[in-house]
Structure 1
């Protein structure tokens, strides 16, 4: 019997960081910080979530995603996940960054975050996930079992990569290859540097192109300028930290390149439409500057 006040084994496994080559399967509820998903959780590993029953809405980085049987979610480390008011049965496949090292698979980096599987594709993916669940139960110390699990995950991701593109994909995608390559390079550089600089000129220098080229590439890919894209990324990270942690607001601002709290507050309010404190409270966090209230007797 589990002692009162101690987390269940499933929740202990969900809360602890994965081993360097960890691959696990778990239930959707095992990811939650509490049973009601009052706040989002920051993910510490890559996830594929396959909904096997029920319906509801999952929120990934504050974007609502309708879910029902056959819905596939692809989430990445650092994203904020919340399942508000849902009644979903789902299998979660979770793996760390090194789990696929040495295998010819890109970890599904180009997969959409949300997709509704139908027909034969749904059956094939469901079978792969079910087999992963079985293989995760094998003794982890057996080398053959470990190798099988890694290859099983690779097969799942390769199968997902071979799915036909969603019907909503733009018909003119092939004509934007040059601009999209520039956009991908910018996105990569922004991920590396958004905590240190928000200047488009700095990213243009790193990539070796002009500010105008970056802006044109961003407009083609997203409809927003390069400056807007950079600010969007900073605001997203701020939103994640405000909603899913109790870290003081001033410290979050400093992490994101704002030595002065007032500058961070103005930036966040302009980008999101709420002050940092109001946004945190609206997402179920503590009021004030993010410090949890003192315990009573």
Structure 2
């Protein structure tokens, strides 16, 4: 599954879901059987450019292909599929467990207190749980509790979900240090460039809008940067930059009481009117209308 082939690989938020990803800045969890069963237990080659996945396989089994390597699925075991990694899964019929799909923004928030958590989430892996010293009942409880909180609407739901997701990242970190394999997949240069570009965006997206700046810092041409982003994320470098700005603006609108003008300033816009046009063009509603809709959904 080299870069040339990856350009023709579908990009999804959830497998088979053609919806836009921009709105999805949190996480999703569902039983493996819910999506794999109706697809004859085969998840065909695809990638999640803006989301990483962690799977708990409790029973059953099968194989997973991560880029160029095909590996048996350990049972019970944890599969880690970082954002942008092309993968294919052939489950044995009746396989059970959970799939957690987390947006990169959610992942970064959960891993903020310990950089090693992010490192564990960026390492493609198939981890057996037997013989690792990790408590298997505790791992099962983490996924099951995360699923309960996801489908309920109890007070503190988002906080509880984040707490369980952090617990899952700690499990992945501890499993990663018990395995000597430095990495399952061997991503190509497009993937490496996309990862470095995303990291650079996190530092500069509020102040730098020029692709020339990012390409220069990455020591590539703008055309090369665009090629990598299109190959691995299915979007241009500018698309990824603008999406990152929109996601940050949405967070301020939903989770703070900042005025729209203040949100404009916080996301790097000197002119609130220009921010309004920018946001409305990409989201379909004005910042004020988006805030009202979000608050109505939360009520």
TM-score by length of 1: 0.48
Higher-Rg member (1/2): 1
TM-score by length of 2: 0.47
